[in-house]
Amino acid sequence: VQLVESGGGSVQAGGSLRLSCAASGYTYSNGCMGWFRQAPGKEREGVATIDSNGRTSYVDSVKGRFTISQDNAKNTLYLQMNSLQPEDTAMYYCAVASGYSCRLASYRGTSAFGYWGQGTQVTVSS
């Protein structure tokens, strides 16, 4: 499984970005995909997940602002981020928990996600 993120950048508060994660070697029908982020000096945090049926979940801090989606035909995962705030500044990673439901993967945390991309930086200025 290979994951390649893109779409990060620098924006002002209130702006938007759309992150993409191109996946290869992964079958969407068998697992959970997610977006994580890690700010300097902080632990990696789960942002959103989506399963093969399109069910989504979000961390409270991004609900109503971020939307996770997937295009199975393009093997691509997306994260639409609106109303960005300085506290959203972080390196963003996509990840795959192959063979896990998103419910179980979220319970187990980052250890359930065996495949990770290299990350894309998001910087939000006030």
Pairing of strands 45-51, 31-38: antiparallel
pLDDT tens-digit profile of 14-46?
Answer: 999 999 999 998 876 678 999 999 999 999 999
Residue-level pLDDT, tens digit, the chain, 126 residues: 899 999 999 999 999 999 999 999 887 667 899 999 999 999 999 999 999 889 999 999 999 999 999 998 889 999 999 999 999 999 999 999 988 889 989 888 889 999 999 999 999 999
Cα 57 from chain centroid? 11
- Cβ count near 22 (within 10 Å): 15
H or E stretch at 103 = helix 102-108
Give the chain's end-to-end CA distance (angstroms, integer).
37
* 8 A C-beta contact, residue 91 and residue 120: yes
